[in-house]
Copies of this chain bind each other. A is one copy, B any other.
Amino acid sequence: MITPRTLKGFRDFLPEQMIARDKLLEIAADVYRSYGFVPIDTPALEYLEILSGKGSDETDKQLYKFQDHGGRDVALRFDLTVPLARFSAQHINELGTPFKRYQFGKVWRGENTQAGRYREFTQCDFDTIGTRSIVADIETALVIHDLLQRIDIKTNVPFENFTIHINNRKVLTGMLEKQGLVEKTVQVLRALDKLAKIGEAKVVNEMTETAGTNAEQAKNVLQLASIKGESKQIIEQLRTLLKGNETGETGAEELETICNALKAAGVPDSRTVIDLSIARGLDYYTGTIFETFLNGLPSIGSVCSGGRYDNLAELYTNQQLPGIGASLGIDRLLAAMEELKMLPKSQTTAKVFIPNFAPNRVNDYLRIITQLRKSGVAADFYPEQKKLGNQLKYADKKGFPYAIIIGEEEFEKQTAQIKNLVTGENKEVKQDEITSELFG
């Protein structure tokens, strides 16, 4: 006998969790589609050379790689961005630009499994490829806003449940240019990106070590990173700080354009903040960057992050493909919902349960249930003849809202008992009135 178990770092999704996950994916697809994004899919396995050296040294180490039956070096994808770059290089001429795609898919990383991290997780990305227009940045922010508004995680804080943090790499670069640190941009931003995690002192240490900053420079970088707040004041402050530096001024202007557009589209000011401390470690971001936090649950990290890049597919094509995109953190959101006890208790999505207890009436039950299903009522029919009480216990455990009880007497009278399994209430109706009663 083989012990049934999942691999370390992997997990099964039981119905309760899966119903919640499907619901999140449904909302995400619905929001993406409402902005004109279209779905694509790419394989789980890619040539190793497509995937290796595209993330950090860490992602390289974490790659699940092996040889396939034909002796090819292959690996499981570790994100959906590198496959998108490969996909775009291959198909963009056929598809045309701008190309707005979304993609849901599993990705795999052989990570350390401490701290509730899994080696298989779901990514939900959306990107607008082939345009430098700030309109794409604005719509990306609007999508993030609609996602979080629709998902509606009640974090029990007095005001907004979520805040979208917006920054612009050009502002950071402008500042580094003014500080004479532009050659060390990568090192400085990587250190800065750890601010929330490791604190100021350690960030200064890392900057000194990897970028050779002096005390004054480090202080100025940290001062800039500490700027955070409502758009109008911040923009003024940035204009003053970055005066005379073209890159920085452009960044400030882009931030302003986005904030004004969000206001025009009806996004409350209280849901966005300009936050110069978010740096997004990834080197390829070049303009707007986003992170999104659940207020009252900062420990869970950003639940929707992304940004603008100048050249998505430069490793695979000479064609330049600028764009902007972000990724919704489904697994983090589910963890948050679990922590907040927001996951539905129900193990079913069906509205009614039909116990099977009148002898020799299977075909009569099926006649009625077929009508229910045809009129849009999802109905679970118990397959075995058992005592009614046992069947109702099953229904209760699974969390059905209603049971439609039809015994021999009801068959003869052509009636049914609609039992509300939450309140215990019972109501006798004609069999052809069940649907209208349930929806009425």
Closest residue to A379 on the B side, CB-wise?
Answer: B36
Q: Is A342 an interface residue (CB 8 A)?
A: no
Stretch of A91-99, A215-223, A296-304, A402-410 that contacts chain B:
A91-99
Q: Is A38 an interface residue (CB 8 A)?
A: yes
List A1-60 residues whose CB lies under 8 Å from chain B.
1-8, 10-15, 18-19, 21-22, 29, 33-36, 38-47, 49-50
Q: Is A341 an interface residue (CB 8 A)?
A: no
Given that A46-B7, A47-B7, A364-B264 are known contacts, is A380 also in contact with B36, CB under 8 Å in the complex?
yes
**Chain B contacts of A364 at CB under 8 A?**
264
> By CB atoms of chain B within 10 A, which of A65, A94, A318, A347 has the most?
A347
A18 touches B44 (CB 8 A): no
B379 touches A120 (CB 8 A): no
Q: Is A366 an interface residue (CB 8 A)?
A: yes
B4 touches A366 (CB 8 A): no
Stretch of A68-76, A156-164, A172-180 that contacts chain B:
A68-76
Contact of A135 among B35, B86, B356 (CB under 8 A): B356
Given that A4-B313, A316-B2 are known contacts, is A98 also in contact with B44, CB under 8 Å in the complex?
no
Given that A45-B120, A64-B68, A382-B98 are known contacts, is A18 also in contact with B40, CB under 8 Å in the complex?
yes
B22 touches A265 (CB 8 A): no
B366 touches A43 (CB 8 A): no
Copies of the protein in its oligomer = 2
Contact of A41 among B18, B36, B62 (CB under 8 A): B18
List A257-292 residues whose CB lies under 8 Å from chain B.
260-261, 264-266
**Chain B contacts of A414 at CB under 8 A?**
none
Alpha-carbon distance A135/B386, docked complex (angstroms): 13
User: Main SS of the interface on chain A?
Assistant: mixed
- Size of A's binding interface in residues, CB under 8 A: 105
Q: Is A350 an interface residue (CB 8 A)?
A: yes
**Chain B contacts of A3 at CB under 8 A?**
316
Alpha-carbon distance A3/B47, docked complex (angstroms): 10
Alpha-carbon distance A401/B120, docked complex (angstroms): 39
Q: Is A412 an interface residue (CB 8 A)?
A: no
Alpha-carbon distance A391/B266, docked complex (angstroms): 26
B45 touches A108 (CB 8 A): yes
A7 touches B98 (CB 8 A): no
Closest residue to A21 on the B side, CB-wise?
Answer: B41
CB of A108, distance to nearest CB on chain B (Å): 7
Alpha-carbon distance A396/B131, docked complex (angstroms): 19
**Chain B contacts of A120 at CB under 8 A?**
43-45
Given that A1-B316, A18-B41, A38-B19 are known contacts, is A68 also in contact with B110, CB under 8 Å in the complex?
yes
A348 touches B98 (CB 8 A): no
Q: Is A152 an interface residue (CB 8 A)?
A: no
Extra 20 A-B pairs, beta carbons < 8 Å, given A4-B313, A15-B95, A36-B348: A4-B50, A4-B90, A12-B41, A12-B43, A12-B90, A12-B91, A14-B95, A15-B39, A19-B39, A36-B379, A38-B347, A44-B44, A44-B106, A44-B120, A62-B69, A68-B110, A138-B362, A264-B367, A265-B369, A266-B370
A-B contact pairs, 11 of them (CB 8 A): A5-B90, A8-B72, A14-B94, A15-B95, A18-B38, A19-B39, A35-B350, A64-B66, A98-B382, A128-B383, A131-B383
